[in-house]
Amino acid sequence: MKAKIPIGLIYLRLFIAPVIIFLSVIHINHYAAIAIVLLTVGLVSDILDGIIARRLQISTQRLRRLDSTVDQVFFIAVAIATYIQCPAFFSANAWLLGLLLGLEGLTYVISFVKFRKEVATHSIGAKIWTLLLFATLVQIMLQCQSGILFPVCFWVGIITRLEIIAMILILKKWTNDVPTFYHAILLRQDKEIKRNKMFNG
């Protein structure tokens, strides 16, 4: 029964994704507050699913791949819902968002071409960027604008996407939960890497 908890947390985000879009489309009262609650639930579930899976020693490649794919669906859905509410922000930052999304897509293309699998490095940098993305989305939901947070989120996003691409290119075989580019180099040299039991174990 406990083994189903991580999977349940992953599918919870998959359930929230269309719900948040629907609520945005119908312009429900107090949408921002509801959306922030749903976004927070999604983020917490994303943090907990991996931790619980590692604690239960069921953190398989299949589970990590599913987690990565659902994360993409969830945040794309949140972005679509936010666009519906605040189109002016997205129009004003269209080329920056396009560049960021293009790099994100490129990580998947390179991973599929090289390994026939989607990317699931779950790097430390990517985790930090997720927290920044969360904060930026919350600010946009509340104000339909973002001052300092968005530029920081953008550049951290660019840097971490480039790191992931470099990691994919240097790895000899598909590997999930690679903390940093340095760890990817060690794996290429067939060396053991130290992973955090809580976040990358």
Where is the domain boundary, 85, 118, 134? 85
* 71 within domain boundaries: yes
Residues 93 and 179 in one domain: yes
Residue 1 lies in a domain: yes
Are residues 190 and 135 part of one domain?
Answer: yes
**Where among 33, 63, 85 does a domain terminate?**
85
35: tokens are 């959306």
Residue 66 forms part of a structural domain: yes
Q: Into how many domains does the chain fold?
A: 2
Residue where a domain terminates, one of 85, 120, 148: 85
Specify if 201 maps to a domain.
Answer: no
**Whole-angstrom distance, CA of residue 170 vs CA of residue 91:** 36
| DSSP code at position 93 | T
Q: What is the pLDDT of residue 80?
A: 96
- What is residue 147's predicted lDDT score, i.e. its pLDDT? 85
User: Are 196 and 53 spatial neighbours (Cβ–Cβ below 8 Å)?
Assistant: no
Q: What is the pLDDT of residue 176?
A: 85
Per-residue pLDDT tens, the chain, 201 aa: give them. Answer: 666 888 999 999 999 999 999 999 999 999 999 999 999 999 999 989 888 888 887 778 888 888 889 999 999 999 999 999 999 999 999 999 999 999 999 999 999 999 998 888 889 999 999 999 999 999 999 999 998 999 999 999 999 999 999 999 999 999 888 999 999 999 999 888 876 665 555
Res 59: pLDDT: 75
Long-range contacts (CB closer than 8 Å, 24 or more residues apart) made by 86-92: 86/140, 86/141, 86/144, 86/145, 88/144, 89/140, 89/144, 89/145, 89/146
Structural domain includes residue 142: yes
